[in-house]
Amino acid sequence: MTPPDARPPLRLGCIADDFTGATDLANNLVRAGMRVVQTIGVPTGPVDDVDAVVVALKSRTIPAAQAVEQSLQALRWLQAQGCSQVYFKVCSTFDSTPQGNIGPVAEALLDALDAPFCCVTPAFPATGRTVYQGHLFVGEVLLSDSGMRQHPLTPMTDASLVRVLQAQCRRRVGLIGHATVRQGTGAIRDRMAQLQAQGVAFGIVDIVDDADLQVLGRALADAPLVVAGSGVAIGLPQNHGLAPGADAARLPAVQGPAAIVSGSCSVATNDQVQRFVRAGGAALAIDPLRIAAGDDVAAQALAWARARLGAQPVLVYSSASPEAVRGIQQSLGAATAGELVERTLAAVARGLVDLGVGRLIVAGGETSGAAVQALGVAQLRIGPQIDPGVPWCFAHAQACGRPVQLALKSGNFGGPDFFTRAFAVGA
């Protein structure tokens, strides 16, 4: 019998092949009623008592053997927490090449779990990703007719997920078509058993709307492994008697003023910066050329911020127009410019938390990675959503010895008034 003070086993263990994908999945699980922690890499210490943990790897485009090794390490950690179901989160556009990494990682997970079969679907209808007759659609067009055709690392030139996955693995791939999904949970389970009896290990599942995701979720109640985008997450918490509600998203309160650090030069972030400045917000632009010239730009920014921290958020940004960025890159080289700016903004993020900032937005995927590292954050408890894909998170900033709430926004996410509106969410 379980002693009364023993921690209940983890309900769902997730392995995500990149950081923003991990947040997307965690966000969906929270919205469907699970309490979730996202870890940066495989945890080395204990995590909070939650329903699901999402281990964020950076394994989407590394050599397949390394992706397998890292994923198995994550699996061993999740199994040690007692989780009975594993969710391998892949990109909603199934980003991969004939070498992997979806197929090799999925096969390794099946082997390690001693499982004969799993369902696979990157579908997430709310974001325009649907699967029909095994073909992935991005909005109204086939994956192979979308911008993904020209992706620099993982060009997707075939929309047939059965073919794409089959090229990456030894086991056979089959289809659970929409005619089956439409008949309900029992029909999906029958089809899973039928495919398994035929020696098929992976069933690509057709999904065209959220109702399909709920039906599939119920059919997966006892599945040891699911390979999916973030959409399938909305159908799984119901298997544990959990339903959408505000409780799962409640975060511990933090003290201190609000700040924003922005290193994204995306169209959306540039708009958000402009909107914040026009609304009269206190904002300081960082000049990469001054960093390259040897000025201690981070210290200058922190001195500027220290005098202004208070009731209203302050913004420190390097975000700039495409022409300005091109000019900087021509002077410094793109890689050097990026690295200098990332290092400076990470130091600013850390300095702001040292100055007492309690809630911090970081804009930019790479910028967020650098900031999280500088803050010494190993795990994030996922809280309320600000905008699709961007939740507030609670974390211990070990480098600063303090708790903090973070919103890590990848470049193109968030509405135009994100910087002014975000601090009202979950406050």
Q: How many residues bind ligand ADP (CB under 6 A)?
A: 21
The only residue of 93, 146, 264, 270 in contact with ligand ADP, by rule CB under 6 A: 264
Coil, helix or strand for 224?
coil
C-beta of 342: minimal distance to ligand ADP in Å? 4
Residues 232 and 254 sit within 8 Å (Cβ to Cβ):
no
Q: Are 322 and 354 in contact (CB under 8 A)?
A: no
Q: Which is nearer to ligand ADP, 99 or 321 (CB)?
A: 321
Residues 360-389 that bind ligand ADP (CB under 6 A): 364-367
Residue appearing with tokens 């794409």: 164
Structure tokens at 411: 């470049």
The answer for residues whose C-beta is within 8 angstroms of residue 147's C-beta and 6 or more apart is: 138
From the CB of 360, what's the least distance to ligand ADP, in Å?
Answer: 15
> Does residue 288 interact with ligand ADP by CB under 6 A?
yes
Q: Which stretch binds ligand ADP (CB under 6 A): 11-19, 242-250, 258-266, 274-282?
A: 258-266
> Least CB distance from residue 163 to ligand ADP, whole Å?
31
The tokens for 80 are 């040690």
Minimal CB distance to ligand ADP: which residue?
411
Residue 270 or 405: the one with the smaller Cβ distance to ligand ADP is 270
Structural tokens at position 361: 């937005």
Phi then psi for residue 61, to 5 deg, are -125, 15
**Which of 220, 234, 236, 328 lies at the binding interface for ligand ADP (CB under 6 A)?**
328
- Work out whether 325 is an interface residue with ligand ADP (CB under 6 A): yes
Q: Which of 176/325 has CB closer to ligand ADP?
A: 325
Cα distance between residue 332 and residue 327, in whole Å: 9
Using alpha carbons, select from 206, 266, 233 the residue that is nearest to residue 16: 233
Per CB under 6 A, the list member of 28, 38, 70, 318 interacting with ligand ADP is 318
Q: Work out how close the CB of 392 gets to ligand ADP at its nearest, in angstroms, rounded to a whole number.
A: 18
Calpha distance 244→413 (Å, rounded): 23
Query: Cβ closer to ligand ADP: 57 or 175?
Result: 57
Residue with smaller CB distance to ligand ADP, 174 or 364:
364
Which helix (H) or strand (E) segment holds residue 267: the answer is: helix 267-278
- In the bound state with ligand ADP, the residue whose beta carbon lies nearer, of 230 and 269, is 269
Both ends of the chain: CA-CA distance in Å? Answer: 41
H-assigned helices in 33-159: 64-80, 102-113
Among 27, 249, 410, 418, the residue binding ligand ADP under the rule CB under 6 A is 410
Minimum Å gap between C-beta 413 and ligand ADP is 8
* Selected binder of ligand ADP within 33, 217, 231, 338 (CB under 6 A): 338
* Sequence letter at residue 200: V
Judged by CB under 6 A, which stretch of 34-42, 62-70, 74-82, 264-272 contacts ligand ADP?
264-272
One-letter amino acid for residue 23 of the chain: T
Residue choice 320, 349, 352, 372 for contact with ligand ADP (CB under 6 A):
320
263 binds ligand ADP (CB under 6 A): yes
Residue 389: left (phi > 0), alpha (psi -120 to 50), or beta? left
Cα separation values, 356 from 9, 259, 373, 411, Å: 36, 10, 18, 26
How near is the Cβ of 346 to ligand ADP at its closest, in Å?
9
Q: Which residue has the tokens 């008034």?
A: 417
Interface with ligand ADP by CB under 6 A: which residues? 263-266, 269, 288, 318, 320, 325, 328-329, 337-338, 341-342, 364-367, 410-411
